[in-house]
Structure formats: C-alpha cells, structure tokens
Amino acid sequence: MAKRIALVEDEPILQQNYSLALKKSGYEVMIYGDKASALNAFKHQLPDLVLLDVGLVDEPEAGFEICRELRNKSTQLPIIFLTALDSDFDIISGLRLGADDYLTKDISIPHLLARISALFRRMELLINTPEQEEALQVGDLTIDNERLTVKWTGILVDLTVTEFWIVCALAQKPGHVKSRDQLMQAVKAVVDDSTITSHIKRIRQKFQLVDKSFDHIDTVYGMGYRWNLRA
C-alpha cells in the first residue's frame, strides 16, 4: 500500500510541483491549503508523513500550531517542515515543537525525496527490529525497542522518532563519543550540524521535564556528544 503524505502548503504552484514529484515516487498525496482544513482532516485520520509549511494564508505561525497538535496526537508521526523561513529561531522553534526535520524551499526535489525516504526507512527499522533486545537498561534509562519508548527513573519521556534514535545511539555505548555524522547515520537521515544540535537541546529539555537535575548528555566540543553514567 502506498504511503500517504499530507502536504500542507498554501501556494498552488508549489502544491502542484511537490504533489507531482511525490506521486511520481509512488506516494499518495493529500493537499491542504490552510490550518483549518488540515486539522479537520487529521482529526479523522493521520497520514504516514506530513510536509508542513510554517506560514499559511494569513496565519504566519499556522504550521507551528499544526505541528503542536500533531505531536499531541502521535509522538511517532514523521513531520518535516518545508518552508521559506530559514532563520535559526524558526528552525529551532520547529524542532522544539517535535518536527523530525526542517527544510527550506530552496532544497532540490531529489534531496527532498531522499529525506522523506530516510524517515520512512527509519520507521520501518524501528518496527522491524526482532534482533534487538526488547529493553535496554542503562542506569536510570530504560529503552523499550518493542514499544519505541524511553523512560527515565521509570517515567516516560515523550520523544519523537528522531529523538528516540539519537538517545538509542548515545546510550548503547555510554562514555563513547558519537560525532554528529555518526548520529546522522544512526537516525538514517541527512541533516546538518545545527539540526543535530537542536535535537540534542530538545532531548535534554524533555529529560529535564522529568528530572530537573538530568545532565547525562555531554557535549564534547569539536567532537560530538556522549551519554555519561555519572551518579
């Protein structure tokens, strides 16, 4: 069955261009031109992936609001921002709301399709991992590979798909430094350094919501990140 992609975009020319490219790649595409129509559709059924612009019609932050609503419905739904806004503030805002990727509209169609394909591969790998242990315990951290969940001191930490993979990659070898390139390989995505950095910040924040004293992800400047087991 073809994967269903929701394209939330208000410019007709871009709707046509992206939709055509996605359909040629074998995806089923649903197009929504404003926040209200998108949210109404998502009430009834979620797609397999969402491509989301930030500004829609006369609502400059409609995409951020849609992302927030979608994350409340599902922590695992792949969400990609595809927008003309390219400031660090906008990128960080999108990732903090739980998006898995943030792309600007100057990205080539082949590159966009590669990022979408990478997210779908990652979902499939998460689902089809019978060789993995059902649960990994690292100190107070519990990773449940079957349910795709992470707990800290027994309390669920609400991670996105991308964040789950990053935590898995770091925690599997505590004390070992993972470079940004290695983390990109672990999450099966092609993202830039600033995107990985933003994900790490968001992960820390989510753990600190559970435990204010959480400090088990170290930044090793010039090298990457590591999971530490300090008491």
pTM, full prediction:
0.64
What one-character DSSP code corresponds to residue 56? B
Residue-level pLDDT at 122: 73
Residue 107 contacts residue 80 (beta carbons within 8 Å):
no
Residue-level pLDDT at 226: 94
- Residue 201 predicted with pLDDT over 80: yes
- Residue 127 predicted with pLDDT over 80: no
Collapsing DSSP states into helix, strand and coil, what is residue 30?
strand
What span, in angstroms and rounded, lies between the C-alpha atoms of 218 and 216? 6
Residue-level pLDDT at 91: 80
Question: 10 Å Cβ neighbour count for 16?
Answer: 12
- C-alpha triplet 16, 36, 42: angle, nearest 5°: 80
Residue of 67 and 99 predicted with greater confidence: 67
Residue-level pLDDT at 125: 66
Can you tell me the mean pLDDT for 132-148? Answer: 80
Residue 177 contacts residue 225 (beta carbons within 8 Å):
yes
Residue 159 contacts residue 150 (beta carbons within 8 Å):
yes
Can you tell me the mean pLDDT for 29-45? Answer: 95
Residue-level pLDDT at 36: 96
Residue of 158 and 53 predicted with greater confidence: 53
Residue of 101 and 48 predicted with greater confidence: 48
Can you tell me the mean pLDDT for 207-216? Answer: 94
Residue of 96 and 175 predicted with greater confidence: 175
Residue 133 contacts residue 141 (beta carbons within 8 Å):
no
